[in-house]
Homo-oligomer: A and B are copies of this chain.
Amino acid sequence: MVVKVIELVGTSPNNWTEAVDEAVMEASKTLDHILGVEVTNFTANIDDGRIAEYKADVKVAFHVH
């Protein structure tokens, strides 16, 4: 059993949890066997003194059958 790890950045206008969810959903479109994620960085873009976009750097691990 070999696992492959890829790095994605998910984004959300609302919060970091949604940003991670978005990355997981994008990955699950093309990958069947996702095992887990690790969030390695939490950033955000600011617009007009408010957070406009939450961004989460996410490592996604999945089975290479």
Interface residues in chain A, defined as those with a beta carbon under 8 Å from any beta carbon in chain B: 1-11, 15-17, 20-26, 28, 34-39, 41-46, 49-51, 57, 61, 64
Copies of this chain assembled into the complex: 12
| Complex-state Cα separation, A4 to B22, whole angstroms | 12
Given contacts A6-B4, A11-B2, A21-B51, whether A39 and B46 have CB atoms under 8 Å apart is no
Asked if B5 and A7 make an inter-chain contact with CB atoms under 8 angstroms apart, the answer reads yes
A36-B46 in contact given A2-B22, A51-B21 (Cβ < 8 Å)? yes
Q: Please indicate the chain B residues that have their CB under 8 angstroms from the CB of A4 in the complex.
A: 6-9
A11 CB → nearest B CB, Å: 5
- Shortest Cβ distance from A31 into B: residue: B49
